[in-house]
């Protein structure tokens, strides 16, 4: 009864379907809320219609207030609903000359301690961490979100760990431990992997695979944001941070728009974090 006669202010139109929980619109009606103000209409055809349900029940409804700001706040959810796939953030670390590992394969550490802490912050903002089987077999990562003391967050707060590729993942690999849920995707096709993840209601994929997987997503036009941690060091040879993109001339280079530049750490622990958006070429 405490909500009876109240005004509810929300960013997205209350949903009108039953999923893991019942319809939000019906819950507001049952609670006796008198007025609902929402910013962004629900573009999901399965869940849309909440405003109509509220109005039919006599609730005063106002929508569209600060809608653009709400779309920015709900960027990944909005993208997933409108595109039918998760938003993809590709994260990588590289030297000034674009190397992710030395010629002997060593890579610890290209990224600095402050950069690795920042990576865990970004992981926590996503609902899926995606790598290829090659990364799992070579690096044996855990792919968990850890705190400032390098301790795993509780399992309930861990993103889904997804591994794509056709090679078998040995049972003793750390990505298969019980710290978080893990999904094995037996495909090399980025679009298929994203389709399967979207079917599991995944909206934001943090792509942390190696150069081959990164190139596959870039060539498919399926990278929506790139986060690069650039270390002020040179190797001169070694593993490139991205594989072959099929680009043979500078005129065909893939350009990225720089959204943010942030310096992390100091001294030998300095990294520069670049947040970028790929500029997609218009189709003829």
Q: Are residues 119 and 188 in the same domain?
A: yes
Whether residue 267 lies inside any domain: the answer is yes
* pTM, 2 dp: 0.91
CA 131 – CA 245 distance, rounded (Å): 18
* Residue 36, CB-side half-sphere exposure with 13 Å CA sphere: 30
In sequence order, the β-bridge partners of residue 9 are 37
Report whether 234 contacts 97 (CB < 8 A). Answer: yes
Segments forming the whole domain that contains residue 55: 7-73
Let me know whether 41 and 177 are in one domain: no
* Span 202-227, average pLDDT: 97
My answer on whether 196 and 264 are in the same domain is: yes
Tell me, yes or no, whether 132 and 218 share the same domain. yes
CATH code for the domain in which residue 42 is found: 3.40.140.10
pLDDT per residue as tens digits for the range 179-200: 999 999 999 999 999 999 999 9
Is 100 in the same domain as 213?
Answer: yes
Q: Bridge partners of 205? A: 88, 128
Count of the separate structural domains present in the chain: 2
Question: Domain check: are 101 and 66 in the same one?
Answer: no
Rg, C-alpha atoms of the chain: 22
* Pair 54, 96 in one domain: no
Q: What are the tokens at 124?
A: 């926590």
Q: Are residues 19 and 61 in the same domain?
A: yes
One domain, residues 150 and 215: yes
Closest CA to 233 of 62, 44, 100: 100
| Confidence at 152, pLDDT banded by 50, 70, 90 | very high
Domain stop point among 19, 46, 73: 73
Note whether 53 and 105 are same-domain residues.
Answer: no
Last residue of a domain, one of 73, 107, 128: 73
Residue finishing a domain among 73, 99, 114: 73
How high is the pLDDT of residue 282?
Answer: 64
Say whether pLDDT at 215 is over 70: yes
Is 253 part of a structural domain of the chain? Answer: yes
Establish if 78 belongs to a structural domain. no
Q: Return the pLDDT at 12.
A: 95
Same structural domain, 53 and 137: no
Helix and strand totals (H; E) in the chain? 8, 13
Q: Has residue 1 been placed in a domain?
A: no
79 in any annotated domain: no
- pLDDT level of residue 283 (50, 70, 90 thresholds): low
Residue 122 and residue 209 share a domain: yes
């Amino acid at each position: 009864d405490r909500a009876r006669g109240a005004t509810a202010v929300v960013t997205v139109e209350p949903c009108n379907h039953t999923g893991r929980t019942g319809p939000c619109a019906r819950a507001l009606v049952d609670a006796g809320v008198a007025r609902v103000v929402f910013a962004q209409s629900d573009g999901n055809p399965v869940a849309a219609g909440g405003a109509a349900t509220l109005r039919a029940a006599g609730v005063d409804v106002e929508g569209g207030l600060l809608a653009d700001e709400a779309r920015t706040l709900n960027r990944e959810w909005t993208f997933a609903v409108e595109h039918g796939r998760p938003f993809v953030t590709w994260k990588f670390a590289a030297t000034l000359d674009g190397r992710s590992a030395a010629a002997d394969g060593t890579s610890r550490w290209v990224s600095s301690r402050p950069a690795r802490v920042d990576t865990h912050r970004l992981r926590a903002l996503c609902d899926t961490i995606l790598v290829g089987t090659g990364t799992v077999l070579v690096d044996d990562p855990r792919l968990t979100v850890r705190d400032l003391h390098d301790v795993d967050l509780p399992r309930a707060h861990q993103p889904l760990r997804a591994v794509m590729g056709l090679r078998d993942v040995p049972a003793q690999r750390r990505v298969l431990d019980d710290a978080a849920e893990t999904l094995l995707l037996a495909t090399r096709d980025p679009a298929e992997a994203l389709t399967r993840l979207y079917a599991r209601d995944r909206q934001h994929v943090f792509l942390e695979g190696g150069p081959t997987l990164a190139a596959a997503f870039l060539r498919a036009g399926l990278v929506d944001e790139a986060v690069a941690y650039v270390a002020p060091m040179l190797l001169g040879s070694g593993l490139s941070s991205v594989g072959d993109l099929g680009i043979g001339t500078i005129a065909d280079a893939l350009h990225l728009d720089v959204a943010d530049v942030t310096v992390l750490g100091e001294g030998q622990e300095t990294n520069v974090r670049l947040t970028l958006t790929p500029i997609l070429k218009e189709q003829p």
